[in-house]
Structure 1
Amino acid sequence: MISLIAIDLDDTLIAPDLHIPDENLTAIRLAIKSGVKVVIATARGWAGAKRFYDRMGLSTPIILSSGASTVDGQTGAVIRRSYLPLSFARDVVTFADEQQIALRVYVGSEVWNNFDYDPSNGKNKTIEIHVENLVQKLVEAPFQIFVKGEREAKLILERFGSEGDGYRCRHHVYADGIPELNILHPRSTKQDALADLCAAFDVPREQVMALGDSKNDLGMIAWAGIGVAMSWADDAVKEAADWVLADGTARLTQDPDAEVAEAIFHHVLQQPKTEFAG
């Protein structure tokens, strides 16, 4: 019996064009109606996840920033957060300023940029808050630092390594092919955040289904009672999963982007999708 479903957003629940397939929404609403808790677990921040949360009609907490933060889904109030060592964060900002590396630094409820452009899309991307002399003003430990770019990621990794005391650099390459680094506390993982949330809900891992496609989903997929990898997932994620969705036409859903629905119909609702048409 599945009591809780944890779902990654980008390229899992959400199609590449950023819409939620109708079949995914239908399956999620039927699961909720049957008493199952549905939890978003995403690398996105609060603003980026909230619109999908509202579209799904959820009332559960949201796991954000790849597990660095868990918040109340209705209010955004922090439930769980793991922080980077302040001295380390200041060292990263100092080095980034010297090397002209644009950063996002997540402090409290704000996102600070060390330059007047964003690492995701250079000068074409509107920034949230530009903080001049950021290292001097950084007196509160952040919970995440974000870097994007092949040169930028390489320099950060050469200087600080992939992990150290109180931090870990998680390297990802998504659909655009540009390397990204999320610098987080070692316990800032989707797996740790999900395990803590399930403990609070008194839901054993055997009653959890986790779905995802990328390396930051691997831990929670391996931890859950049923770990599900999308057909397009990274090979390491597929190896960690209990069930890998099949790419092709022999499916429970009509929309090729509705693999979340297929997993819910199969493992949670345990009835053919056709019985829920309309």
Structure 2
Amino acid sequence: MPFRLIAIDLDGTLLNTRHQMSPANAAAVAACVAQGARVLIATGRTYASAGPYIRALQLAGPQIVLNGAVLVEPETGCMYTRQLLPHDLLAHVITVLESQGLGYTVFGSDAIYALPEMPYAPILAGYGEPPLIPLSRTDLLRLPNPIKVLTFLPAGPRDAQLAALMGTQVEAMRTAPQFFEFLSPGINKGSALMELMERYRVPREQVLVIGDGENDISMFGVAGMSVAM
């Protein structure tokens, strides 16, 4: 049975460690589209960062960005936010991170905010993310459209400790060797993919997922076939 819906992660999957897409990978995506499959990118990046790859591949229809919190239409740039991070949970996440001595950034749908002293702009710029917008802690907590919080923490035993401190009311996931993120509960790539499967009436047997990270596991659970890089 041919795959009608194919979801592909960017970093570590479609892209190499230098954030480059090989001609072979681009050709493989084009071949899938030519055979009638609906191909979408599913990434933790903002659309500002992921958009150049999506446009280079000439993909149509909704794409998954910000780890499933936002769907974006590349033809129009229109964004649909599935779920904001409620302000009480935003405050909880920030308080826990501060208690652990961890820095953080807060993502909106198309912008990234941080305290003025946060030194992480060069790291995110390496992923093509927009410049950080400096805000006070008070203003961060008042953001009208918070979607996720990202902290910079190398993978290790603190992952489980941090997730436990956050509690079950927060979706916690490692998204890169140095990134750990927090979203509204139930918001992940898998739930976004399920929404699109229902929209297009594609059964799981006709869904292929390709990814390499912890934040791709939620998609593996809803697809008929999963490929871990």
- Scaled by the length of structure 2, the TM-score of the pair is 0.84
Give ranges in structure 2 of 5+ residues lacking alignment.
none
User: Aligned pair in 2 of structure 1 residues 108, 223: CA closer, same or farther (>3 Å)?
Assistant: closer
User: Aligned pair in 2 of structure 1 residues 78, 43: CA closer, same or farther (>3 Å)?
Assistant: same
Q: What do you get for the CA RMSD once the two structures are aligned?
A: 3.0
Give the secondary structure class of the aligned counterpart of 1:117: coil
Q: Distance in 2 between matches of 1:35 and 1:169?
A: 35
Q: Distance in 1 between matches of 2:29 and 2:162?
A: 43
Which residue of structure 1 aligns with residue 151 of structure 2?
147
Q: Distance in 2 between matches of 1:4 and 1:206?
A: 10
Q: Distance in 1 between matches of 2:118 and 2:131?
A: 6
Q: Distance in 2 between matches of 1:12 and 1:159?
A: 25
Amino acid at match of 1:170: M
How far residue 99 of structure 1 moved from its aligned partner, in angstroms, is 6.5
User: Aligned pair in 2 of structure 1 residues 136, 223: CA closer, same or farther (>3 Å)?
Assistant: closer
Q: Distance in 2 between matches of 1:34 and 1:63?
A: 22
How far residue 191 of structure 1 moved from its aligned partner, in angstroms, is 0.7
Q: Distance in 2 between matches of 1:7 and 1:223?
A: 14
Give ranges in structure 1 of 5+ residues lacking alignment.
231-278
Which residue of structure 1 aligns with residue 142 of structure 2?
138
Q: Distance in 1 between matches of 2:140 and 2:15?
A: 39
Give the secondary structure class of the aligned counterpart of 2:221: helix
Map 1:143-182; keep pairs closer than 5 Å.
Answer: 143-150=147-154, 154=158, 157=161, 161-165=165-169, 167-174=170-177, 178=178, 180-182=179-181
Which residue of structure 2 aligns with residue 75 of structure 1?
76
| Kept after mapping to 1: 8 A contact 2:90/2:141 | no
User: Aligned pair in 2 of structure 1 residues 16, 107: CA closer, same or farther (>3 Å)?
Assistant: closer
Q: Distance in 1 between matches of 2:223 and 2:213?
A: 16
| Kept after mapping to 1: 8 A contact 2:43/2:64 | yes
How far residue 72 of structure 1 moved from its aligned partner, in angstroms, is 1.5
How far residue 112 of structure 1 moved from its aligned partner, in angstroms, is 1.1
The C-alpha deviation readout for 1:191-230, integer Å capped at 9, x for no partner, is 1000101111221211110001111111212321111112
Q: Distance in 1 between matches of 2:154 and 2:18?
A: 25
Q: Distance in 1 between matches of 2:163 and 2:214?
A: 23
The C-alpha deviation readout for 1:228-258, integer Å capped at 9, x for no partner, is 112xxxxxxxxxxxxxxxxxxxxxxxxxxxx
User: Aligned pair in 2 of structure 1 residues 98, 216: CA closer, same or farther (>3 Å)?
Assistant: closer
1:128 paired with 2:127, answer no
| Kept after mapping to 1: 8 A contact 2:70/2:109 | no
Which residue of structure 1 aligns with residue 200 of structure 2?
201
Amino acid at match of 2:30: R
The C-alpha deviation readout for 1:53-98, integer Å capped at 9, x for no partner, is 1111111211112212212123332224222221121243355567
User: Aligned pair in 2 of structure 1 residues 220, 134: CA closer, same or farther (>3 Å)?
Assistant: same
Q: Distance in 1 between matches of 2:132 and 2:108?
A: 12
Amino acid at match of 1:143: I
- Scaled by the length of structure 1, the TM-score of the pair is 0.70
Number of residue equivalences: 224
Higher Rg: 1
How far residue 36 of structure 1 moved from its aligned partner, in angstroms, is 0.8
